[in-house]
Structure formats: C-alpha cells, structure tokens
Amino acid sequence: MEIRHDEAKKELQISLSIFWDDWERYLDETQPSDKIVNYQDDSKEATLLFENYLKQHLRFSIDNQPKTFEYLGREYDLDVMYGYLLIKNIETFQAIEIKNTVLTDFIPDQQNIIHLITANGRKSSMTDADKPKAVLKTN
C-alpha cells in the first residue's frame, strides 16, 4: 500500500495492490459456490464486494483521529488488482496509524507493506496477522 500526502490538495492518496490469485481464493472461500461473481468484470456487484471488503479491513487514524476513506475504484491487469482510496482534508500531520487486515484474515502468512510518502520523504512499515497495526510518523 502506498499512501501519498498531497499537500496542495490536502489529501491522502492511497493505492494498494492485491494478487488476483489471492483475491480469487477469498472469493472461492466466502462466496456461495452456485453464484459465481465474474472476478474481472466491472459489474456493480463485483466492485461493491471489493469496496466492502476494504471498508471492513482497513482503518486509518491520523494524529489519533479516526478518518474515513472514500473508495475511488479499482483496475486490474493480468495478475494484480489495484484499489484506490482517498482521505480528504488532511493538511500537515504527525503520524498515521493503519490497521490493515486485508488478506491476512484468510492467508495467515500474508504480509502487507506500507509506504508513506510525504514532503519529508519516504517511510515504510509492514503489517501481518500478528501485528495488524502500523504507525508511520511523518518525520
């Protein structure tokens, strides 16, 4: 996951990627088998499923204030699905806390790497099933 602070626009631009193999596995394990969601189509049903999943599995708080995010959409290539999120009205901040349980709920050894890019440079951290929270400071 890459979180980029755009100071001019006062927003956090978030992009994340998930391997199709992993996502398909999630769909296989959780969807009724008689109802096949066409994984790579752009139907409302398919994208809503992804949006809801992210809303359940991602929490952000900035300087200890919980923030909601807007889901902008997704795109995909042959192997990877990319999701785009936005958190608005963010001027300067000291720290962001991310709780990320994406994929770790059904792939126990999944690790999610997080990069934060601000005017002060680049910071990285990682979350996994044992440690779903990460705090990244801007300086």
- What residues line the site for other proteins (CB under 8 A)? 2, 4, 13-15, 20, 29-30, 36, 38-40, 72-73, 75, 77-79, 82, 84, 101, 104-106, 108-109, 111, 113, 126, 129
What is the Cα–Cα distance from 14 to 51, expressed in whole angstroms? 14
Q: Which is nearer to other proteins, 40 or 92 (CB)?
A: 40
Q: Which is nearer to other proteins, 33 or 139 (CB)?
A: 33
Q: Which is nearer to other proteins, 95 or 129 (CB)?
A: 129
Q: Which is nearer to other proteins, 93 or 106 (CB)?
A: 106
What is the Cα–Cα distance from 81 to 67, expressed in whole angstroms? 24
Least distance in Å: CB of 13 to other proteins? 5
Least distance in Å: CB of 115 to other proteins? 10
Q: Is 112 exposed, middle or buried (0-12, 13-18, 19+ CB in 10 A)?
A: buried
Amino acid at site 26: Y
Sign of the C-alpha dihedral computed for residues 8, 11, 12 and 15 taken in this order: negative
